[in-house]
Amino acid sequence: MNPTSAARELFATGQIDEAVDLLERAGSDGDAVACAELATCYLRGDIVPRDVLRARQYLRKAAVIGHVDAALTEVALVANGSGSDPDWPLASSLL
């Protein structure tokens, strides 16, 4: 089972810290999907406390690894100022 699927099972059984740790380890090992999953968790704020800055950090990591959806989400957050001031020039450069 891949780390993201395993983490989703852990989330479903209330093992939040274990799931986050698993995704963080996978992300550190270069798993872009795990980074994007963490970003989604922090953006939504329903499983872990909402933290847009942390979500953007995970989106950036996922995007650098090659996760296209994470890259596009990051551009949108940068452009509209979610988690910081809007930065259209930076958002444009990320495209």
Structure confidence by residue, pLDDT tens digits, 4-55: 999 999 999 999 999 999 999 999 999 999 999 999 999 999 999 999 999 9
Global pTM value: 0.91
Q: 5-35 in b/e burial notation, b at 16+ Cβ within 10 A?
A: ebbbebbeeeeeeebbebbbebbeeebbbbb
Closest residue by Cα to residue 23 from 38, 43, 2:
38
